[in-house]
A = this chain, B = another copy of it.
């Protein structure tokens, strides 16, 4: 299994040593194989003998002529503070220490003494939990843990050895291993597996540990194959991804099998939350049904039109509709902004009443969110070009101009839609009917003449101030996609 770890004999390897039989065998095997080593031992302060165990490891390192690093943390206190189990807290602090020291020393990898017995326990644990392929594949001989380091891998050179082998190796080479050195990764559940269930399974298959270690190896190969397929599906269905969200093309997702969707959601979840430990099948299956749902770690599936988002913060999702803000005009208002040109599209609001001169005479472009422009033009009535498009609003300029205002939607807003004279409808109902996602409603731009809503921008125009037989001049407002998306 050393070969699968892909280590170079020229570069340092940090070896995590508890002093137990596995880690001492690992240390000796790697030294015999000629790798330059750094011994690292972590004191979890969970048992009174921990300090003397670390001292024991330090002495072994000295006798082997190897450099040694150590640190200690109060795992129990950290666990309580962070709301973690003792095992989770121990793992997090230990790995943080190991990778920090590996970076400091310029090590090529962190090596741990996991054996085929550990692998069998891991596979069995995932099997009992129903973790699917991603869990059943167990531990890889070489693996990046992005939470701890993006480049230095964790390697497990003894993954093909049974614990019986590390024991006889230590006896043969007279290595002074500690029989009580704590394996803090060993939860109560895992201990039951080790001391009760695995021995019981041996009555069904005497080679169960090796069998499960082989199953892991076989499934790792299958998982790698599948990952290639997931890679190419990812290319196809992901329209955007970042630190805050992953955006899928919903119609493309619908063309994929549920199995592939499950893998895509799993990957997306881990890309947003690298520290996630597991996502169960039921959760992934719900996600794969492509309906709004909660995934793991606070992540939610949000569907808007043909977009499906995975995020834990709706406010960070991209905005592709016109939006304005109440915060305008704010303290950072500039001259450019007062002329209707804003620096931040989402925060743009033009107080029309302060620009009367411009509105009376000047054609104008106002950015509404990063992708949208509102254009305003004054001209004579041209009855051949009266648009009924919701993206186009034409008002009688003599009645409306000078009183034009833009403001965002407020709860309770009503207006009188074009074609329904004398009848008002609630804007909230209009938003629902038009399937405008909730998060866009409170910043949706409305055009008013005085206090009357005359255009729900881009969606519906009203009966009020519309062009009549007596109209001479019009103000023509149009919502357009901006050519330059970002300033």
Contact = CB atoms under 8 A, between A and B. Distances in A.
A204 B190 CA distance: 11
Interface in A96-150: 127-130, 132-133, 136
A165 B222 CA distance: 34
A201 B201 CA distance: 11
A304 interface: no
A218 interface: yes
Contact of A257 (B127, B221, B285): B221
B130 A215 contact: yes
Count identical subunits in the complex. 2
A226 B218 contact: no
A192 interface: yes
A354 interface: no
Contact of A133 (B204, B214, B222, B285): B222
A187 interface: no
A281 interface: yes
A210 to B, nearest CB: 8
Contacts of A364: none
Nearest to A132: B218
Mostly, the A contact residues are helix
Given A222-B226, A229-B228, A229-B229, A204 B259 contact: no
Given A214-B282, A215-B281, A229-B228, A221 B258 contact: yes
B127 A127 contact: yes
A6 to B, nearest CB: 15
B192 A197 contact: no
Nearest to A261: B221
B224 A132 contact: no
Among A201, A204, A258, residue most surrounded by chain B Cβ atoms (within 10 Å) = A204
A211 interface: yes
A200 B198 CA distance: 12
Interface in A218-276: 218-222, 224-226, 228-229, 257-260, 262-263
Interface in A187-213: 189, 192-193, 197, 200-201, 204-205, 208, 211-212
A257 B204 contact: no
Contacts of A133: 133, 218-219, 222
Given A197-B204, A224-B257, A225-B226, A214 B262 contact: no
B208 A281 contact: no
Contacts of A221: 257-260, 262
Nearest to A200: B200
B257 A215 contact: no
Contacts of A192: 204
Contacts of A219: 132-133
From A136, A211, A217, A218, residue with most partner B Cβ within 10 Å: A218
A132 B205 CA distance: 15
Nearest to A126: B215
Nearest to A211: B130
A205 B192 CA distance: 13
A453 B117 CA distance: 64
A96 B20 CA distance: 58
Contacts of A211: 128-130
Contacts of A127: 127, 215
B229 A128 contact: no
A23 to B, nearest CB: 27
A69 B71 CA distance: 76
B259 A222 contact: yes
Given A204-B192, A225-B257, A257-B225, A214 B281 contact: yes
A218 B129 contact: no
B215 A225 contact: no
26 contacts: A127-B127, A127-B215, A128-B208, A128-B211, A129-B211, A130-B211, A130-B214, A130-B215, A132-B219, A132-B222, A133-B222, A197-B201, A197-B204, A214-B281, A215-B281, A217-B281, A218-B259, A218-B262, A221-B257, A221-B259, A221-B262, A225-B226, A225-B257, A225-B260, A225-B263, A229-B229
A-B interface, 10 closest residue pairs, ranked by CB to CB distance from nearest: A221-B259, A130-B211, A132-B218, A218-B281, A128-B205, A128-B204, A133-B222, A214-B281, A225-B259, A130-B215
